[in-house]
Amino acid sequence: MKLSAFGEKFSARSGAVELMEDLGNAIIENPDAILMGGGNPGKIPAMEKLFQQRLQELLDNPEQRHQLLGKYQSPQGNKDFRIQLARFLKLKFGWKLTEHNIGISNGSQSAFFILYNMFAGKMPDGSHRSIHLPLSPEYLGYADIGLSDNFFSATKPNIELLDDSLFKYRVNFSDISLDENIAAYCVSRPTNPTGNVLTDNEMAHLDEIAQKQQVPLIVDGAYGLPFPNIIFNDAKPNWNENTILVLSLSKLGLPGIRTGIIIASEEIIQAYNNSNTVISLACGTLGPAITAPLFENQQISSMSSQHITPFYKSRAAQTVAWLNTALAGVPYRIHKPEGAIFLWLWLEGLPISSNTLYQRLKECGVIVVPGHNFFVGIEEQWQHKHECIRLSYAGDEAQVKVGVEIIAREVRLAYSQ
> Residue 14 pLDDT > 70, yes or no?
no
| DSSP for residue 335 | E
What are the CB-based long-range contacts (under 8 Å, 24+) for 109-112? Answer: 109/141, 109/145, 109/260, 110/260, 110/276, 110/279, 110/280, 111/246, 111/260, 111/262, 111/272, 112/141, 112/142, 112/145, 112/220, 112/246
**What is the dotted CATH code of the domain comprising 5-47+303-416?**
3.90.1150.10
> Residue 43 pLDDT > 80, yes or no?
yes
Percent of the chain with pLDDT over 70: 95
**β-pairing verdict for 166-170 and 332-335:** parallel
Q: What local confidence, expressed as pLDDT, does residue 13 receive? A: 67
Instruction: Find out whether 201 and 174 touch, Cβ atoms under 8 Å.
Output: no
- Average pLDDT of the chain is 91
**β-pairing verdict for 121-122 and 332-335:** unpaired
- Would you tell me how many other CB atoms lie within 10 Å of the CB of residue 22? 19
Q: What local confidence, expressed as pLDDT, does residue 354 receive? A: 95
CB-based contacts of 56: which residues, under 8 Å, 6+ apart? Answer: none
Q: Which CATH class is domain 70-299?
A: alpha beta
Percent of the chain with pLDDT over 90: 76
Q: What local confidence, expressed as pLDDT, does residue 266 receive? A: 96
Q: What is the mean pLDDT of residues 383-393?
A: 96
Alpha-carbon distance of 391 to 282, in angstroms, equals: 35
Q: What local confidence, expressed as pLDDT, does residue 162 receive? A: 97
Residue with the bigger pLDDT between 22 and 58: it is 58
Domain-wise residue ranges, the chain: 5-47+303-416, 70-299
Q: Report helix, strand or coil for 339.
A: strand
> Residue 125 pLDDT > 80, yes or no?
yes
Which range, of 39-43, 196-200, 265-269, 391-395, averages the lowest pLDDT?
39-43
Q: Report helix, strand or coil for 371.
A: helix
Residue 19's pLDDT band (cuts 50, 70, 90): low
Alpha-carbon distance of 101 to 89, in angstroms, equals: 11
Instruction: Find out whether 180 and 356 touch, Cβ atoms under 8 Å.
Output: no
- Would you tell me how many other CB atoms lie within 10 Å of the CB of residue 124? 5
Residue 70's pLDDT band (cuts 50, 70, 90): confident
pLDDT tens digits, one per residue of 307-320: 999 999 999 999 99
Which range, of 22-26, 41-45, 204-208, averages the lowest pLDDT?
22-26
Q: What is the mean pLDDT of residues 322-342?
A: 97
> Residue 22 pLDDT > 70, yes or no?
no
> Residue 27 pLDDT > 60, yes or no?
no
Q: What local confidence, expressed as pLDDT, does residue 48 receive? A: 95
Q: What is the mean pLDDT of residues 315-339?
A: 97
The residue type of 262 is: I
| DSSP for residue 154 | E
The residue type of 285 is: T
DSSP letters for 19-87: HHHHHHHHHHH-TT-EE-SS-PPP--HHHHHHHHHHHHHHHH-HHHHHHHHSSPPPTT--HHHHHHHHH
Alpha-carbon distance of 252 to 229, in angstroms, equals: 9
Classify 333 in phi/psi space as left (phi over 0), alpha (psi -120 to 50) or beta. beta
- Would you tell me how many other CB atoms lie within 10 Å of the CB of residue 300? 23
Instruction: Find out whether 263 and 245 touch, Cβ atoms under 8 Å.
Output: yes
- If you compute the radius of gyration of the chain from its CA atoms, what whole number of angstroms results? 21
pLDDT tens digits, one per residue of 204-247: 999 999 999 999 999 999 999 999 999 999 999 999 999 999 99
